[in-house]
Amino acid sequence: KQEVTQIPAALSVPEGENLVLNCSFTDSAIYNLQWFRQDPGKGLTSLLLIQSSQREQTSGRLNASLDKSSGRSTLYIAASQPGDSATYLCAVKPRDDKIIFGKGTRLHILP
């Protein structure tokens, strides 16, 4: 059964630093992987989607990588800002099954 793990559960970094959030999954037979952002009490915003055939995707200061064979993805945030403070969720879509979420990383950017 597919399991998705995100480490660390929480992270605080000073403003301006670059940072990496990690996501691992147990079954490499995935269709795609998505990174989401969730602000407290709100819905999820899709940040990046990586298809299983892709290695990375970039959007502005965000870069997500995918290593399917090792079951790992990273979300890189460059030049962090206080507005980046949120919970970041990783989710994998297995083939022929529904999306599975990790528990998220709570990120706090210190001004």
Partner 1 sequence: SAVISQKPSRDICQRGTSLTIQCQVDSQVTMMFWYRQQPGQSLTLIATANQGSEATYESGFVIDKFPISRPNLTFSTLTVSNMSPEDSSIYLCSVEGGNHINEQFFGPGTRLTVL
Q: Which is nearer to partner 1, 46 or 70 (CB)?
A: 46
| Single-letter amino acid code for the residue at 92 | V
Contact with partner 1 (CB under 8 A): which of 44, 63, 72, 74?
44
Contact 47, 36 (CB under 8 A): yes
**Interstrand relation of 105-110 and 10-14 (parallel, antiparallel or unpaired):** parallel
Question: Which amino acid, 11?
Answer: L
Can you tell me the distance from the alpha carbon of 31 to that of 80, in angstroms, rounded to the nearest whole number? 30
Give me the sheet containing 72-77, strands edge to edge: 4-7, 19-25, 72-77, 62-67, 56-59
Q: Judged by CB under 8 A, which stretch of 17-25, 39-47, 59-67, 71-79 contacts partner 1?
A: 39-47
* Residue 68 three-state SS: coil
62 binding partner 1? (CB under 8 A): no
Q: Which residue lies nearer to partner 1 by CB, 14 or 98?
A: 98
Of 15 and 94, CB closest to partner 1:
94
Nearest to partner 1 of 14, 43 (CB atom): 43
Residue among 14, 43, 60, 111 that touches partner 1 (CB under 8 A): 43
Q: Which residues bind partner 1 (CB under 8 A)?
A: 31-32, 34, 36, 41-46, 49, 51, 89, 91, 93, 98-99, 101-104
